[in-house]
Amino acid sequence: RIPLVIHNGLHDLMFLLTHCHNARLPESFEDTKKVIRGYFPVVYDTKILGTEYSDAIIKSGNSALGDLFDTTCNASDANGDVPSMKAPLITNQDGRSQGQAHEAAWDAYMTGCVFNALCNRILESKNRFSADLTLDDLLHESSDGMLREWIGLNKIYMHVSLYTIDLESSSGPAPGMHDPLSSGLSVDTTFRVSGIATSVSTRDILQALTAGNESEEEAIRESRYEIIWVDDTSFFVGTRMADCVSGDDGDATGLVASHVRSKLHAGLGGDVEILPLGEYFKKKHEDATETMKSTTSETGGIVDSFVSVAMSPLKILGRAFSYGKRSSEDDGNVESAKRPRKSS
């Protein structure tokens, strides 16, 4: 199986489907994922590889393609912390100048180099605890389970969202969600907030969440917050917990969740509604089920009712994660509202 390697390439895949498969994409998001897998059964996204599967040095840097290329293939850190992979040199036809970012051939070249370099960094850390494994062995001799666990097989970065597209997933962490939350986020520490004043800005929210955190426990001090606007009076906030805090640590998760709730109520007013993500999607899923029953009763069309319910998670996700109106603002230990992860 020949892999397709992309960098933040969801839009590129959509372009290929609409120009080479059908000008109209399937109604269902799940059906769209099936079409992608039909053409490309093995996909790796270097954006996901860098932000979710790499070491702390890579995760803490910029995950734009050009920056990843410079970090992994062009220059060593002054302290020697970032080893370079010697990338083969290519030039333009004049033989003198190199390409630049957003030129198709140069981007393809950088993507291949970054994939090679990041995979080898991951292998270097894994091989400390097991027998030596080469990149060729990993790609061609390993199980799909290992490839998914180590380098994110068939997972694609989703811009301006709190989740990662998983081409193999049909169920997510909550009813109505078909994909996992991105690395470091938890259903228990992600909330849907509504009923806020229209004058509230992203900066107001971030200041409410971070004020006085210097004296809090490490799980709170090291947390990062991602905000996705739904409309002028509601948004989602996700808490990306530090690598030192296990997602299975119920005490830490509970502490962070309580912190987010209390800070938002104190900073935005006690009348705002704050729902955990799982509870919010459960409610939406129940509403969709009721819609199906109502539609069946009124029209007698079971097919129409089924399509309505099948579409509801996609509509929820679209409204929830993709169309924020507020401008993004960075502030210290937080990440921007319109760019929840560093984007290219």
pLDDT at 315: 44
pLDDT at 76: 55
Q: Are 138 and 124 in contact (CB under 8 A)?
A: no
- C-alpha 92/C-alpha 71 separation (Å) is 22
- The single-letter code of the amino acid at 59 is K
Chunked mean pLDDT (size 10), the chain, 344 residues: 93 94 89 93 96 88 91 65 65 69 88 94 81 85 92 91 86 71 83 93 92 80 87 91 67 88 90 89 78 61 37 42 41 41 39
Looking only at the bridges linking them, the beta strands covering 165-166 and 155-156 are antiparallel
pLDDT at 260: 92
Report the SS3 class of residue 194: strand
- Listed in sequence order, the DSSP H helices in the chain are 10-20, 29-39, 46-52, 56-59, 65-69, 104-126, 135-141, 144-151, 202-210, 218-221, 250-268, 277-299, 302-321
User: What number of residues does the chain have?
Assistant: 344
Dump pLDDT digits (tens) for 96-119.
Answer: 667 778 888 889 999 999 999 999
- C-alpha 162/C-alpha 183 separation (Å) is 9
> CB-hemisphere CA count at 13 Å for 257?
20
Radius of gyration (Cα) for the chain, nearest Å?
22
- The single-letter code of the amino acid at 266 is A
With both helix axes pointing from N to C terminus, report the angle between 29-39 and 10-20 in degrees, rounded to the nearest 10: 80
Q: Which residue has the tokens 């083969």?
A: 88
Q: Are 189 and 260 in contact (CB under 8 A)?
A: yes
Task: Report which of 224, 239, 164 is spatially closest to residue 8, judged by C-alpha positions.
Answer: 164
For 6, the enclosing helix (H) or strand (E) is strand 4-6
Dump pLDDT digits (tens) for 233-246.
Answer: 999 998 887 766 66
